[in-house]
Amino acid sequence: MNRLYLFFLLTLASVVSLTAQIKDPVKWTTEVEKISESEYNLVFKAAIEPHWHLYSQELPEGGALPTTFSFEGAGEGYELIGKTEESPSITEYDKVFEMELSYFDEEATFTQKIKLKDASLATINAAIEFQACDDESCIFDSTELSFVVNENAVDEQSTEVAAKTATEKSDANEGQVATKDKKEKKKGLLTIFLIAFFSGFAALLTPCVFPMIPMTVSFFTKQSKTRAAGIKNAIIYGISIVVIYVLLGSLVTAVFGADSLNALSTNVWFNIIFFILLVVFAASFLGAFEIVLPNSWANKVDRQADRGGIIGILFMALALAIVSFSCTGPIVGTLLVEAASKGGAAPIIGMLGFSLALALPFMLFAMFPGWLNSLPKSGGWLNSVKVFLGFLELALAFKFLSNADLVLQLHWLEREVFIAIWIAVFGVLAMYLFGKISLPHDSPLQHISVGRLGLGLLVLSFTIYLIPGLWGAPLKLISGFPPPMHYSESPYGVGFTKTGGGGAAHAELPEGAHHGPQDIVAFLDYDKGMAYAKEVGKPVMIDFTGHACVNCRKMEERVWSEDQILNILNNDIVLISLYVDDKRPLPESEQYVSDVTGKNIKTIGNKWSDFQITKYKANAQPYYVLVDNDGNNLNDPVGYTPDVDDYEAWLKDGISNYKK
């Protein structure tokens, strides 16, 4: 009896342990909001477990999988109005994918507006596919939801339908979420403000703005009856400059919409337009032409400035903006492009920072006119500043062209080409700073100053630093600007492979195999891999992974790359990599409904995910299983194992058990 009881407890513990490996970090609930007799908002709410994050809908190609929504019968009994809107997300640079990714912590809300065409329609069915990750694993999941929209069932009150297990968040938890979101937004806006602020100081050092400082300050001090009045007028002038540029930022936000601006960063056409704009701005700064507003605008504003008083001062500030546009326009345009891609109030904050830096000198020199004597005289150095900014604009322009190329997967601007362009741009800039070449509007250069020499040496050093990038160097200083390492003519560097090095030829691959991470021979099909392992008499490591799995890439790059691990994976086992996010459809004859989850298995990724859940009672990646030639486990499976020694010990333990 005691033995039977003990057996029952062990069995129960085993079942609980296996079940615990099924991770369900995102709980979905729905609401229906009635707008009018025929219009509704379908609201999806995601409650996300601590330490996990759900990815946004708007992500660049080659990164994590975006959250996607599909609506059954759309266009028949109802139509979708606009796209699915989402609550504000957190955007950070991901070092693994080498790009900026947007995600949600704790909670997320998605809203789709619809219009009924059939008044008798009772319910609308929708499906969600999403990826969620924590520090150790990722899941690729899908769920189906229903919305009740029949007027008899849905009145003025919202109706909720739980897709899985609905959980209610406490007030304290909501407070934590709000505080965290607020901190993330504040951090991003502060960065935009600081970049814009220093850009404003750069604009001050251009030939269109710098000479106007003493002219404007002298005007206020001479025209004002007292020094106090002159200071007051100069302060009003500075505030007017700030107001004009902040209004420009507000206009950009109003035109594009605060919530949709961040989508610009992944939009092909906007990236191409931004590239063209920055090239035009750069050409202007380099002296090809000047971007000027119509002279009639300046003349009309000048006449208004003669009216005096606060209105006159405001028009004087507007005159400064118009007259100096050939220098400030490209900088302002670049700032608005970059800020617009961040979304929200970023354009407004950007223009606030830029205009403050532009306005401060006018106010300070009006308060302390004696400081004017310490200002350097205008001269050729001002045009050199303008040219320097032109080269920076030209280099930045190719980042936007690269974004468009990555999204379209054209492979026109691969990593080597991008780096080569930057080497050319900064190499020519170094030659310019050393006085080896001159551009239109440059003054004759008899000698170069110590400051210019130092800057030239810095640019030359940066150019030399870029050169090894052509042969596969990671170039961490500019990480995030060039395309990722895999988007390259030679992903491992010119003439090198991760296992062969120096162009060593690969041995002939077994049928159904390919060169996977670290050039390890891997199978993408379970049956073919198992058959080959039986043929060669080696154990199998099943690698449940995903193309968009961050921690899978960390394991492959930081653990599998170690010599002792790479030697085992190459020589002692057969690797079968099963991608659970593979979107390729299965043949209709192979599609089925899962006995375990009840979900429709339609893609190759669905098939391997269902295989992992059914056989191993787990759904997170990475997940590694060592099995013999009959599919029996050789030891306990493991997930994310960043410690190389632990991972090596686990591999050797499984191989040892295979040989027994």
CATH assignment at residue 643: 3.40.30.10
Same domain for 560 and 615, yes or no, is yes
Same domain for 152 and 196, yes or no, is no
Query: Quick one: pLDDT at residue 494?
Result: 56
Give yes or no for a contact between 73 and 125, defined as CB atoms under 8 angstroms apart.
yes
In this prediction, residue 432 has a pLDDT band, given cuts at 50, 70 and 90, of very high
Same domain for 134 and 197, yes or no, is no
Same domain for 144 and 274, yes or no, is no
Is 591 part of a structural domain of the chain? yes
How many helices (H) does the chain have, and how many strands (E)?
A: 17, 18
With 50 as the cut, is the pLDDT of residue 19 above it?
no
With 60 as the cut, is the pLDDT of residue 401 above it?
yes
Could you report the per-residue pLDDT of 309-343, keeping only the tens digit for each?
Answer: 566 667 666 766 665 665 666 666 666 666 655 55
Amino acid (1-letter code) at residue 466:
L
Same domain for 197 and 77, yes or no, is no
- Collect all residues with Cβ–Cβ distance below 8 Å to 367 and sequence separation of at least 6: 231, 234
Could you report the per-residue pLDDT of 512-556, keeping only the tens digit for each?
Answer: 888 888 888 999 999 999 999 999 999 999 999 887 777 888 888
- The tokens describing 652, both together, are 């050797």
Same domain for 155 and 261, yes or no, is no
Cβ-in-10-Å burial (0-12, 13-18, 19+) of 302 comes to middle
Same domain for 163 and 312, yes or no, is no
Give yes or no for a contact between 530 and 629, defined as CB atoms under 8 angstroms apart.
yes
Average pLDDT of every residue of the chain: 76
The helix (H) or strand (E) run that includes residue 33 is strand 26-34
Domain containing 609: what range? 513-659
At which of 342, 373, 404 does a domain end?
373
Same domain for 277 and 328, yes or no, is yes
Is 470 part of a structural domain of the chain? no
Find the range with the poorest average confidence among 69-78, 241-250, 388-397, 601-610.
Answer: 241-250
Query: Quick one: pLDDT at residue 105?
Result: 85
Distance (Å, rounded) from C-alpha 17 to C-alpha 106? 26
With a threshold of 0.75, does the pTM exceed it?
no
At which of 320, 349, 373 does a domain end?
373
Residue that the structure tokens 């505080």 belong to: 179
Helix (H, G, I), strand (E, B) or coil at 31: strand
Give yes or no for a contact between 595 and 612, defined as CB atoms under 8 angstroms apart.
no
Distance (Å, rounded) from C-alpha 47 to C-alpha 25? 8
Same domain for 222 and 352, yes or no, is yes
Same domain for 98 and 53, yes or no, is yes
Same domain for 243 and 369, yes or no, is yes
